[in-house]
Amino acid sequence: MTTPTQQSFSDYELAAWTAKAAGYERWYAPITSNAIMPIFGVIGAQLTAKRFLDICTGTGHVAGAASSRGADAVGIDFADAMLAIARTNYPMVRFQKGDAEDLPFADESFDAAANCFGMMHLPNPEKALGEVFRVLKFGGRFTFTNWLPPSVGFDLFLIIDEAVREFGNLNVNLPPAPPAFRFGDAQEAVAVLGSIGFEEITFDRKSIFWRPARPGDVLDLIQESTVRAPMLIERQTPAARARIEQAIVQQVEALRSGGVIELRFPYLLVGAEKLRSSSH
């Protein structure tokens, strides 16, 4: 049974991704798509004839890339607006609406599955992982990615955090949400996957680098393609918000070197295998 906290989180996530699907495709998808090849490296680069499930598919790039490598790929997401873009991007791939915590597939129906930066958007990730375990065949592999916290050098999140701390208030009233960086903690990820029944668990820390054309692109990315950060900024006083946005632009410009601005997006890449029929 869904708790009121979980329901409110799911509701605002759905509303946000419905409104921001086009912005996500423009700004964030080109960044997150850099994790596709590492994901396939964990699953196994040879995907021909494999049944592949892309969970929280968004605008479809992981499923599309798997299909181009010969997989029978399916992408699932809860936002119709995201799925509409995914179907336009990859008309040969089957995309369907569904809940990551209640997958509409039979037991042992997929050879591999992936979740590219979607874990932080799930109200009950343990339930979602249990569903992945259920739909994977024996020997099936699963991989997911999760951003690492600002403390390890995530430039964008660190810049936002510092700007709000200096000119605003981090304790504004936001809808409740699960910890965004929980599954960026390798120890936590391994423990939870192991409790579900996964084995042969691996992890690796990697980074994506984004080069915005101008410092102001960062504000557009935040506003148009993310959920929590713009809520945090919008709930400041008008004067504080203006100073926060100015500080973000200035800090991004300060990263310029040799005429180029480069922001680092570090993430955890986790892989696991289903080698038994039921969870522990």
| Tens digit of each residue's pLDDT (9 = 90 or more) over 122-175 | 999 999 999 999 999 999 999 999 999 988 888 999 999 999 999 999 888 888
As for how many domains the chain has, the answer is 1
Range of the domain at 246: 4-273
Specify the pLDDT at position 174.
83
Query: pLDDT band at residue 278, thresholds of 50, 70 and 90?
Result: low
Q: Is residue 224 part of a domain?
A: yes
Q: Is the pLDDT of residue 276 over 90?
A: no
Determine, yes or no, domain membership for 48: yes
Name the pTM for this structure.
0.93
For residue 249, pLDDT beyond 90: yes
Q: Which of 174, 60, 56 is nearest to 120 (CA)?
A: 56
Domain-embedded: residue 239:
yes
- The 3-state DSSP class for residue 91 equals coil
Distance of CA 61 to the CA centre of its chain: 12
Mean pLDDT, range 95-100, rounded to an integer? 97
Residue 53 in domain? yes
Is there a domain that residue 46 lies in? yes
**Strands of 35-81, DSSP E:** 51-55, 72-77
Residue 278 resides in a domain: no
Using the 8-state DSSP alphabet, how is residue 259 labeled? T
The C-alpha angle 101, 104, 108, rounded to 5 degrees, equals 95
The answer as to whether 125 is a domain residue is: yes
Give the mean pLDDT of 63-80.
Answer: 97
Residue 255 backbone zone (phi > 0: left; psi -120 to 50: alpha; other: beta):
alpha
- 264 domain-assigned: yes
Confidence bin at 279 (pLDDT 50/70/90): very low
CATH of the domain at 193: 3.40.50.150
What's the pLDDT score for residue 1?
A: 36
